[in-house]
Amino acid sequence: MKYTILPHTNIKVSKLCLGTMTWGRQNSEVDGHEQLDYAFDQGINFMDTAELYPVPATPETQGRTSEIIGTWLKKTGYRDKVVLASKIVGRTSDYVAHIRKTGFSPKSIQEAIDKELKRLQTDYIDLYQLHWPERLTNTFGKLGYVHDPTDEWQDNFNDVLHSLEKHIKAGKIRHVGLSNEKAWGVMRYLEEHKSHNLPRMITIQNAYSLLNRTFEGDLAEVAIRENVGLLAYSTLAFGMLTGKYTDGTATPYSRLNQFPQLKRYSGERTRRATERYVKLAKDYRLSPAKMALAFVNQQPFLTCNIIGATSLEQLKENIDSIHINLSDELNAQINAIHDSIPNPAP
């Protein structure tokens, strides 16, 4: 395993982080514990969850993912050997209405942290992230920002950081980060940190893959110059980049077949790009999954690549990607595909 340091901390984490959002819906508690055992044995010490999980979210399953991690921690006694990341839901919408509709108010943050600590069976969370901005700014499937004049959100970056600081001082969370955020939001949080000596946002968890390289715009510069580490998610695009949906080997239980409402990676441009990436990987005698993950692993703005799988076999393949180094020649051909079909799944 390869390791890195969470920015602005002394916390050493594996460059591969174990994603968990299928546990409690597609995966059972037994599956989750099996994946945790294997990942830990392979040197992965970083796990990411959220109060929303599993996804797709429902009132009946909400929080189950973290409960599975909690029972594993209790069974193994490994809490001091792992780094835990979790998230509070952000934007108020019907999708998260079963959790709360009050955004990042002080009461919401306190409630979310206290409930998550109970689910995880721990007294602290190493990295606590804001899952979505409260303002209307970032929507799957849209490349640019389109201002919505009906948005009633009021600037509350300072208030949110003060609320998070309270829980840092209480020892409930150690550090804070962002997720699904834009460059302006990151810089506003950093401005409040620098001007008022408030907690610093140290990471940003955004989608990044061969099919979605939008992070390489303004956010990449922010990440490098301000040392805000990317925790990349959906790096296999819900399994699309394994090639199983384009070659017909996906089963009825594969994620995009089981949940057809998840349309982000189902467009025609996405399929055409995927076919070309899969062929390229095979030309170089690599599995498509390993090539896709190795591409993410090599990015200069990356802190950790969040990998997830519904089967132990797939998890093993994903972890093996840490040993793959892509040649300059292969990278050039990857970029040629990207240039011809850029960001088909933003």
> Could you give the 3-state DSSP secondary structure of residue 159?
helix
CA–CA distance, 221 with 240 (Å, rounded to integer): 28
* C-beta separation of 101 from 36 below 8 A: no
Q: In the structure, how many helices (H) and strands (E) does the chain have? A: 11, 10
The amino acid that residue 309 corresponds to is A
Q: Report the chain's terminal Cα–Cα distance, integer Å.
A: 30
Q: Specify whether 53 is catalytic.
A: yes
Instruction: Using the structure block, give the residue that is written with the tokens 């960001």.
Output: 343
DSSP letters, 116-140, are: HHHHHT-S-EEEEEE-S-SSS---T
* C-beta separation of 56 from 98 below 8 A: no
The alpha-carbon radius of gyration of the chain (Å, integer) is 19
The amino acid that residue 187 corresponds to is M
- 141-150: string of b/e by CB count within 10 Å (b at 16+)? eeeeeeeeee
* C-beta separation of 123 from 117 below 8 A: yes
Instruction: Using the structure block, give the residue that is written with the tokens 């804001």.
Output: 130
* C-beta separation of 33 from 5 below 8 A: no
User: Which structure tokens are listed for 25?
Assistant: 């819906």
CA–CA distance, 15 with 19 (Å, rounded to integer): 12
38, 53, 124, 145: the active-site residue: 53
Q: How many CB atoms lie within 10 A of CB 321?
A: 23
- Give me the sign of the Cα torsion angle 313, 318, 322, 326: positive
Query: Alpha carbon 256 to chain centroid distance?
Result: 18
Q: Which residues are known to be catalytic?
A: 53
